[in-house]
Amino acid sequence: MNKNKRAARGLLVGLLILLLLAASAAAFVYISLRPVPASDQPVAFKVAEGTGTAEIADGLEQEGLIRSALLYKIYLKLENEGSSFRPGKHEILPGSDYAAITAVLNGGEGMQRKSVKVTIPEGFTIKQIADRLHEAGGWDAKTIRQLARQPEKFADVLPGEIPDDPKPTYALEGYLFPDTYEFEPDATEEDVVRRLVQETSGKLKSIPDFDNLLKRRGLTVHQLLTVASLVEREAVVDSERALIAGVIDNRLNDPMKLQIDATVQYALGEQKERLLYSDLEIDSPYNTYKYEGLPPGPIASPSLKSIEAALRPEKSDYFFYVTKKDGSGEHLFAETYAQHEQNIEQSKAGGE
């Protein structure tokens, strides 16, 4: 075989190899560009704040929404896309092409999955929380109240045992932490309640040396949250929370009735601006004018500040306090009932 024939054959083999490589590459691109199998069930795809397009493309491949992250990156480069991707949760239908996926990630109308944001104020009761959740996200208030009477459903996330005797009106009263939350739009009432209970457990764990402090106080978690709820409803000024917790402690240790108006209001089921003497006669274990000791459970959802105050009460000789009528929210404290009566008169005078 002469040189010309060998050269021609070598050239032919080289061309065949190039053709095979080109065909393989074309087949790879063709297969990779094809959408994944279609489905009418959208996949929730989360884009965190600050996530780059390369990481987003890799995530789409890992979720099985595209076949090739590399080709999607090339597509974004050629189409000058990716700089407007919005953080958040997006619903992407499997089987969507690159253009449709890109439109979703850009926040196309009706394509971005919107979470439900709701704020639970400090001092809210179960009834108020249920109503707030209904207003914010359409969750059924009655179902939430029913779940609040079923602590066994949340035993795995509760921070402590809830006693049955005396039985609280709502077992989970005080266990739904007041804060601002974001929920998935398809979250159930049980999902929502569980999240709020978990937050309470997490907040308690975040308190340094919590277990030892609780042991030193000689309280259960349930009793601690009960005291904290009383502090939450009684204190307005942060600097007085620990002092009011100390007064509650003094009365419990004396022992003498707590005589806290907020517990009567809870027993009545309404927030009255002014209690009548007849209200103080309501026969309820929550009526601390009628019965000594703590009520059966919390009367509201306490803030972390009130929980910490109940955990570390300020020691004093005070047994009484009355609200100043000057709009400050502060109290006048007294060691004896005679001093308390003087403070009441002083408070009335200050409000005139």
Tell how strand 43-47 and strand 88-92 pair up: antiparallel
Q: How far apart are CA 270 and CA 279, in angstroms?
A: 11
User: Torsion over CA of 333, 337, 339 and 344, rounded to 10 degrees?
Assistant: 70
Where in the chain are the domains?
A: 31-113, 116-205, 317-352
> What's the maximum distance between 2 C-alpha atoms anywhere in the chain?
127
CA distances from 181 to 178, 193, 307 (A): 9, 11, 20
pLDDT of residue 110: 43
Q: How far apart are CA 149 and CA 190, in angstroms?
A: 12
Tens-of-pLDDT digits for all 352 residues of the chain?
Answer: 555 555 556 565 555 555 555 545 444 544 555 666 877 788 888 888 888 999 999 999 999 999 889 989 998 999 899 888 888 888 888 888 888 899 889 886 444 556 789 999 999 999 999 999 999 999 999 999 999 999 999 999 999 999 988 889 999 999 999 999 999 888 999 999 999 999 999 999 999 999 999 999 999 999 999 999 999 999 999 999 999 999 999 999 998 999 999 999 999 988 777 888 888 899 999 999 999 999 999 999 999 999 999 999 999 999 999 998 888 889 999 999 999 999 989 888 765 4
CATH superfamily ID and name for 31-113: Endolytic murein transglycosylase (3.30.1490.480)
Same fold, 31-113 and 116-205: yes
The CATH T-level fold of domain 116-205 is Dna Ligase; domain 1 (3.30.1490)
pLDDT of residue 27: 45
Q: What does residue 117 show for φ and ψ, rounded to 5 degrees?
A: -100, 130
